[in-house]
Amino acid sequence: MSAIRVTDPADPRLTDYTRLRDVNLRRHLEAEYGLFMAEGDKVIRRAAAAGFRPRSFLLTERRAAALDDIVSVYDAPLYVVSEDTAHRLVGFDLHRGALAAFHRKVLPGLDEVLSGARGIVVLEDLVDHTNVGALFRSAAGLGVDAAVLAPRCADPLYRRSVKVSMGAVFTLPYTRLDDWYGGLEALRGSGFHLMALTPGEGSQPLREAMAGLDPSVRVALMLGTEGDGLSSRWLEQADARVRIPMAEREVDSLNVTAAAAVACYELARRSG
């Protein structure tokens, strides 16, 4: 398809790309149109390779030919704009010079995501998109099988999550629990041993706890919010409480993304 040159950031054809840093606007717009945004040609290629269907492409003039091989495969318009127009449209300097709006897929059911999985992460109400993206990157890179999200957890397909994950959100199977209050019972019913990551009193070193499990046991590693950690209800429902031992007494824990990386390594090490 021939490139469509656009000079007006208010052109309705570019609505998908409006004010990408306005979280409330983007939540409303992306939910209404069932879309998500991929930034940078590498991430765009990974979204396409994962089977997501593009709605349109937006490239700056200096990057106008960067996705020719991808654009030629799809019946989706390619809009080319100046860097100034891009800045006024999206709200920041588009250094990578490439954006694409993709159609979302229907999330798979819990049974489908858990099928064949031996080690998963379960995220309770992580609200920072950067943290969710980083966690997905660690989980996918270290060999965790899937992720399950509580209802209020941040959207893995929000632009910032996608960007930070470097496209790992496209490859790591995930879904959301419909029920925060009783959702963990569905995991237990599928044979998962629920391990709550917490520095609190009574927790056991993670590696030690992993080593004490029968190799056939499936493990769900639970991670809580950025500030308060796991809720009291989820802690009470856990089969075990585990921690990452700290060498420095004045440091009781790592931040959630660092802790998740270490924990995902231990989880994948056991499964592998």
* CA-based R_g, the chain, Å: 21
Q: Round to whole Å and give the CA distance between 92 and 254.
A: 32
Give me the helices (H) in 126-225, please: 129-142, 159-165, 168-171, 183-189, 206-211
Q: Class assignment of domain 4-103?
A: alpha beta
Q: Please name which of 113, 112, 114, 136 lies closest in space to residue 43, comparing C-alpha atoms.
A: 136
Mean pLDDT of 212-232: 93
pLDDT at 1 over 80: no
Residue with tokens 């979302």: 104
What is this structure's pTM? 0.93
Which region among 7-11, 129-133, 249-253, 254-258 has the lowest average model confidence (pLDDT)?
249-253
Boundaries of every domain in the chain: 4-103, 110-271
The reply to whether 4-103 and 110-271 are identical in fold is: no
What is the per-residue pLDDT for 60? 97
Buried/exposed 20-55: b ≥16 CB within 10 Å, e otherwise? beeeeebeebbeeeebbbbbbbebbbbbbeeebebb
Name the token pair of 44: 């765009």
**Pairing mode, strands 35-39 and 4-5:** unpaired
Confidence of residue 269 (pLDDT cuts 50, 70, 90): confident
Exposed (0-12), middle (13-18) or buried (19+): which is 7, by Cβ within 10 Å?
A: exposed
* Whole-Å CA distances, 261 to 50, 108, 134, 179, 251: 23, 25, 9, 26, 17
pLDDT tens by residue, 120-143? 999 999 999 999 999 999 999 999
What is the per-residue pLDDT for 272? 60
Q: Class assignment of domain 110-271?
A: alpha beta
C-beta separation of 125 from 226 below 8 A: no
What is the per-residue pLDDT for 26? 94
